[in-house]
Amino acid sequence: MVKIERTTAPPASLEIQKKLKYGSYSEPDVLRQLKVDFHGKCYLCELGPLSDVEVEHLRPHYGRKRKELVFDWNNLFYSCRHCNSMKKSSRYDDHILDCCIVDPEKRLEHRYVDGHVHISAITEDVDTQLTAELIESCFENTNTGVREIGCQTRINDLAGTMNTLYFSLAKYQKGKKARYFHSLRNQLSRGSKFAAFKRFYVRSHIADYPELESLLN
């Protein structure tokens, strides 16, 4: 999970739809703006581009009982179906970090080690602890057949992404600095898929690549 800069102005349909009895919070203008703001990635697992997009309510509305949250632009998040289903557990209600407000990289460590994902909370507050647990479960919770395939897909994609990063870092260190600096700038941008994992890896090995510090800002 990385920091997202959300467009301030809500898409126009939200104001219109919230006045209707069965209004929709997922009109095309909402999806289009979420896709741009979230770089086409799921805000939880950071897989992208997505083919199974869902509009996720960060704070649940309980079947529209909390009506003010249904059409609140700041409560709508770009998510994949797999992660949206993981978040449905009531233990996460009102506890997941808002990545449009706080910088998750200052709260969470994203590790990929030996084919597994480990998310650790840096701070001790409940919201950070539960956000770490939820993100890890998006890669590791294989308690149903569908979830097992969803997790494996994400782990495989993450493994390939990390291998590309390791390859580029090795080339960069062997002297092809100009060429690979450009590639690393793209790979380490917050908009790239699995950015939190790549940025954490480089941040924790920064002594080997001190010039790359500027790419982590």
Write each residue from 134 to 173 as x if it is in contact with Zn ion (CB under 5 A), else as -, in one continuous string: ----------------------------------------
Cα-based torsion angle of the residue sequence 161, 166, 172, 175 in order, rounded to the nearest 10 degrees: -140
DSSP assignment of 101-159 equals TS-GGGTEEEEEETTEEEEEESS-SHHHHHHHHHHHHHHH--SSHHHHHHHHHHHHHHH
Smallest CA-to-CA distance from 110 within 194, 13, 43 is with: 194
Q: Indicate the SS3 state at residue 20.
A: coil
Q: What minimum distance in Å lies between the beta carbon of 46 and Zn ion?
A: 7
**Which residue has tokens 């909390």?**
66
Cβ-based nearer residue to Zn ion, 2 or 83? 83
- Using the contact rule CB under 5 A, the part of the chain among 53-61, 72-80, 92-100, 177-185 near Zn ion is 72-80
The minimum distance between CB 158 and Zn ion, in angstroms, equals: 11
Which is nearer to Zn ion, 134 or 165 (by Cβ)? 134
Judged by CB under 5 A, the stretch of 62-70, 77-85, 173-181, 187-195 that binds Zn ion is 77-85
Total binding residues toward Zn ion, as defined by CB under 5 A: 5
Q: How distant is the alpha carbon of residue 185 from its chain centre?
A: 19
44 touching Zn ion, by CB under 5 A: yes
Where residue 115 falls (left for φ over 0; alpha for ψ -120 to 50; beta otherwise) is: left
Interface with Zn ion in residues 78-107 (CB under 5 A): 80, 83
CA atoms within 13 A on the CB side of 58: 19
Nearer to Zn ion, 44 or 132 (CB): 44
**Which of 45, 96, 117, 135 touches Zn ion (CB under 5 A)?**
45
Instruction: Name which position in 42, 53, 86, 96 contacts Zn ion (CB under 5 A).
Output: 42
State yes or no: residue 119 binds Zn ion (CB under 5 A): no
Q: How far apart are CA 91 and CA 166, in angstroms?
A: 36
Residue ranges that bind Zn ion, judged by CB under 5 A: 42, 44-45, 80, 83
